[in-house]
Amino acid sequence: MHIDWLRDQTGAVADAVTGLDPDRRVPTCPEWSVRELVAHVGLIQRRAAKIVRTGEAVPFPRYAEPPADWAGWLREGAAELADAAIEAGAKEVWTFFGDRRPTAFWVRRMLHDTTIHAVDAALTAAKPYRIPAALAKDGIDEGLDLVGRMRGAELRGDGETLRMVSPEGDGWLITREPDGPLWKRTVTESADVTVTGTVQDLLLLLYRRIGLDGVTVTGDRDLITHWLAHSAL
């Protein structure tokens, strides 16, 4: 499933950037040009493929000029990672958490990174985009896991709760504990602040591709504002 989605989302990036001015700025990543966005997606997937193949840490190339055939090069990067993951199976490999996990970790991480950049590319091209609901829900799960591991010290609390719910019937409850945030799937429990939106919008909010004006907030607005300010991935 993640491999198929990775191919699809990489294709979405490729389609969106085709024909764009390479020097055009990406509004949701203003520090990047379209050329730099393409380079990031292609390079980071190839780096993940090397990690999967070798099992070890690989230096991250910050930039390299992508070839003229952006679309082909992007799709080749996704295929390289997919093939490496299929060949490696459940082999455990290095991760940036300092532990070793099955290769599926890297496919999932690259999938959700690519999905968000597919949105960046579509917004830059002024094209519509739609993230499949199942993919968006998995992205929220993975994003909350990452925040807990990478930003937990900044998001400690005394039991404050944040809830995200969607009309699709999905929900997540985040509790800010003294040791860091914990989360679980739920649609029934109350919270200090509740954010309501489609699962796509909730995912894009977590990644700051939309703001709070794109969702409905009830309760302690300062709590979700603080969360967003300290949970960048």
Q: Express each pLDDT in 82-133 by its tens digit.
A: 999 999 999 999 999 999 999 999 999 999 999 999 999 999 999 999 999 9
Entry pTM? 0.96
The candidate with the shortest Cα–Cα distance to 141, out of 178, 171, 101, 175, is 171
3-state SS assignment for residue 210: coil
Calculate what percentage of the chain has a pLDDT beyond 90.
93
Q: What's the pLDDT band for 152 if we cut at 50, 70, 90?
A: confident
Amino acid (one-letter) located at 115 = T
Domain 152-229, classified CATH 3.30.1050.10, yes or no: yes
pLDDT in the model for residue 180: 94
pLDDT in the model for residue 198: 98
Q: Express each pLDDT in 16-41 by its tens digit.
A: 999 999 999 999 999 999 999 999 99
Give the Cα-Cα-Cα angle 109, 112, 118 (nearest 5 degrees).
Answer: 140
Instruction: Say yes or no to pLDDT of 62 above 90.
Output: no
The DSSP bridge pattern shows strands 92-94 and 100-102 to be: antiparallel
Give the Cα-Cα-Cα angle 77, 83, 89 (nearest 5 degrees).
Answer: 135
pLDDT in the model for residue 233: 82
Instruction: Say yes or no to pLDDT of 61 above 90.
Output: no
Return the bridge partners of 195, or none.
Answer: 164, 217
| 2-125 CATH fold | Four Helix Bundle (Hemerythrin (Met), subunit A) (1.20.120)
Return the structure tokens found at 151. 């930003």
pLDDT in the model for residue 63: 81
Instruction: Say yes or no to pLDDT of 60 above 90.
Output: no
Return the structure tokens found at 121. 């590319």
Domain range list for the chain: 2-125, 152-229
